[in-house]
Amino acid sequence: MLKQKFLLSSVFEILIYLLSFFSLIVITRNLGPEPIGLISSSLAIMSLFSIISNLGLGVAHVKLISQGEDENECVSTFLFLKFLTTFLMAIFFVIAFNLNLIPGFKPKTLESNVLLIIFVSSLINSFNDVGNFTLSGRLKIFIGKGILLTQKLVNSFLRILVALQKKNVIWLAFVEIITNILGTFLYILAFKNIKFKTPSKKLLMKYFSFGIPSLVISINAILFSNVLDKIIINSFFDAKEVGYYSVALSSLIFFTLASNNLNNLLLPYFSRLFSENMLQRVTYISLKLEKFIAIVFIPLIFFFIFNSYEFVLLLFGENMLKTAIILPFLIINLFIFTLNRPLATKILGKGNFKFIMWIDIIYGLLNIFFLLILIPDKFLGIKLVGLGSVGAAISLSFSNLIIYAIYKIYTVKHLSDKFQLPLFGPIFISFLSFYLINNFTFMITENIVLIFLINLIIGFSFYIVLCFSLRIITKDELKELTEIFSLKKISFSIKKEFDE
């Protein structure tokens, strides 16, 4: 059932990201990188303030719901806590804004007006978290992703309309408010049968006992899921540089779905398996995931190393070519980050929040160090590397690689994990496939479209053939993969959600 839910979630994510990606292409071609950079910087600032409105309570809510706590009591208690924390967030934002403490957003400027609109949007979205986290805890993938898909459909349509009419960036900011209001309405419909109760004191204690240790995890998830890097880039460079970086990140949204879905599905699933003392099953799943992640991501890395220039030129135009330099580093980071997900979730599922908390502190410090070394030209009078957005991508890769090593050593020692070498085969045949095909295409044509399509189709086809020929993927593993795509099991999963 988990496999089908993973596929179902992935299908919805692909649809959501296709809509977002198409709107991004239209915006960059019509408005350039600056509007995207300004919206992204504003969202990054509000993500920083949303730490206050979250306080790790979302992770606690998912865990409590998945463990079978009374849903009505959980939703009522979580909503009560959300009112308090969102009000607190609003106070801190207003103080920081009026005292001009937010870098890159001076009062009475276009930038500050955009930020104020995004602030209102974030207030609304804070309450939408109640519905989102509840559906995640219940593994209601079809309903939860359906709401997000509807929001993204409306969001993308309005963003495209604004871009085609070449409207001001203020209009793009208002689109975010409209989208979140729509989300609130849809979550109300989804939970119309909820019976609200007085917040439970017992549950309040559980929320804080789970939430406070995971607060550091939430802070790192917010700060270093491309938030702090955007803030630092905007502080030392400008919105245009953030725009290049944001477009590179958005270009990979097709592949970030794997990491997002692993987080959403594995935490409640692993928690349930650990409560049933099924450690061997958890280990089997995490090792298989590690191998499949390597098989999928490594060819993507080599594809973007050889073809990022053609990719950016075709989709976004010549004014966005700096994005081509950033892309290979970001896909490497995404690969390492995705490898980390099963390991971190395995430790969380076991209930070892404190270890994850300390590791996330280490990760945060590492990332801040690398960001401040690699992004600015000069800081505190010290001459630094000055790579800008490229430095941000490299920083993320370095930090995640160190954390992966720590996670792996811990899970091998304490959670029956194993060291395996799933990387060498995919690395070798990926390099061979795309190096040979890339050189071949440049020999026969100079047409950018043909070069890109030949490398994409023939390169990946050659890679897949070599995977099976060299038995990097076995028949049993292929059977497991095909089971994920069972339409019968997917339809049963959808029906079960609505029946429940």
In a domain, 69, yes or no: yes
Per-residue pLDDT of the chain (500 residues), as tens digits, is: 555 555 555 666 677 777 788 888 999 988 888 899 999 999 989 988 888 887 777 777 777 777 777 778 888 888 888 888 899 999 999 999 988 888 878 778 888 999 999 999 999 998 888 888 887 776 666 677 788 888 888 998 999 999 998 888 899 999 999 999 999 999 888 887 777 777 777 777 777 766 666 666 566 656 555 688 888 898 888 888 999 999 998 888 767 666 666 666 666 667 667 677 777 777 777 777 778 788 878 888 888 888 899 889 988 888 888 999 999 999 898 888 888 888 887 787 777 777 877 887 888 889 889 999 999 998 888 888 889 999 999 998 999 899 989 988 888 888 777 777 656 677 778 888 888 888 888 888 888 888 888 888 888 888 888 887 777 777 776 666 555 444 455 444 444 544 55
In a domain, 263, yes or no: no
In a domain, 88, yes or no: yes
In a domain, 22, yes or no: yes
In a domain, 72, yes or no: yes
In a domain, 112, yes or no: yes
In a domain, 163, yes or no: yes
Q: How many domains does the chain have?
A: 1
3-state secondary structure the chain: CHHHHHHHHHHHHHHHHHHHHHHHHHHHHHHCHHHHHHHHHHHHHHHHHHHHHHCCHHHHHHHHHHCCCCHHHHHHHHHHHHHHHHHHHHHHHHHHHHCCCCCCCCCCCHHHHHHHHHHHHHHHHHHHHHHHHHHHHCCCHHHHHHHHHHHHHHHHHHHHHHHHCCCCHHHHHHHHHHHHHHHHHHHHHHCCCCCCCCCCHHHHHHHHHHHHHHHHHHHHHHHCCCCHHHHHHHHHCCHHHHHHHHHHHHHCHHHHHHHHHHHHHHHHHHHHHHHCCCHHHHHHHHHHHHHHHHHHHHHHHHHHHHHHHHHHHHHHCHHHCHHHHHHHHHHHHHHHHHHHHHHHHHHHHCCCHHHHHHHHHHHHHHHHHHHHHHCCCEECCEECCCCCHHHHHHHHHHHHHHHHHHHHHHHHHHCCCCCCCCCHHHHHHHHHHHHHHHHHHHHHCCCHHHHHHHHHHHHHHHHHHHHHHCCCCCHHHHHHHHHHCCHHHHHHHHHHHHHC
In a domain, 379, yes or no: no
- Residues of the domain holding 191: 1-222
